A and B are shown apart, each in its own frame.
Chain A
Amino acid sequence: MIYYLFDIPFSLLGNQFSLNLLSCQLLLDQLTEWHAVASWTWDAQDETCGICRMAFDGCCPDCKLPGDDCPLIWGACNHAFHLHCILKWVNSQTPQAHCPMCRREWQFKG
């Protein structure tokens, strides 16, 4: 049995996450099976969202499934939050919202 483990950091639409790819090759007399298992995690410095306090690997309290439907988003100051959480905060603040962590003016990271 041969295992390959890849850890590939990559960026998609400005978001940062790691893809862990575990491939397993089963060798008997010849190649009979090939399994590929992949998992991913967000590359955020904290483990939980500073607003809802839920894990980044989970989703915000209004969502059921982590992933595309409940993404993380980074501010220009590099603090990350669930997109849904920071939007609730930003939309409640007029005229200018500040980052909940560092109080700098909130701007989405371009």
Chain B
Amino acid sequence: MTSSSAASRKALSKIACNRLQKELVEWQVSPPAGFKHKPTDNLQRWVIEVNGAPGTLYANETYQLQVDFPEHYPMEAPQVIFLHPAPLHPHIYSNGHICLDILYDSWSPAMTVSSICISILSMLSSSTVKQRPEDNDRYVKNCRNGRSPKETRWWFHDDKV
């Protein structure tokens, strides 16, 4: 597992637990198109299968997202990463970290796992080139020891992709 915080993180608060149960029920009733939640008995870590949208560079490809929820979700954003292998994308690092503002500075407690998934799929779908971010090697080297992407000071330089 990529996340070192798994063992040390605190249990979900009552609000977090309540909301996640509601989100799970909502997901079962109407899952976002192209996504499949892989059921586990762990409410605090969701593993979600993503299918690249037809007609995009990622059509017929399947990836896995891992979503870890903090104690005070939704006041704090969940940690969202791609499990290995992460899609080739100018905003996705080879260690699975995703450069997407809503996961960090622009998080709002009104967002849900479902809305995050839709944003990530839209980010994949608008890509015109399959390549790693320019600073991939430097960034990944800096992240050894399983550092969380939430500790990164992201610089959102490009909102086109």
Contacts and interface: CB of A to CB of B under 8 A. Distances in A.
Which of B15, B72, B76 has the largest number of chain A CB atoms within 10 A? B15
B18 interface: yes
Given A50-B110, A51-B109, A60 B15 contact: yes
Q: How large is the interface on A (under 10, 10 to 19, 20 to 34, 35 or more residues)?
A: 10 to 19
B10 interface: no
A69 to B, nearest CB: 16
Q: Is the interface of A mostly helix, strand, loop or mixed?
A: loop
Interface string B81-109: 00000000000000000000000000011
B14 A100 contact: no
A6 interface: no
Q: How large is the interface on B (under 10, 10 to 19, 20 to 34, 35 or more residues)?
A: 10 to 19
A51 B18 contact: no
A53 B19 contact: yes
A14 to B, nearest CB: 22
A61 B15 contact: yes
A101 B75 contact: no
B75 A88 contact: yes
Contacts of B72: 88, 92
B23 interface: yes
Contacts of A98: 108
Given A51-B74, A53-B23, A88-B75, A61 B108 contact: no
Given A53-B18, A61-B18, 19 more contacts: A51-B109, A51-B110, A52-B18, A52-B19, A54-B18, A60-B15, A61-B15, A85-B15, A85-B109, A88-B15, A88-B72, A88-B75, A89-B75, A89-B109, A92-B72, A100-B108, A100-B109, A101-B108, A101-B110
Interface of B: 14-15, 18-19, 22-23, 72, 74-76, 108-110
Interface of A: 50-54, 60-62, 85, 88-89, 92, 98, 100-101, 103
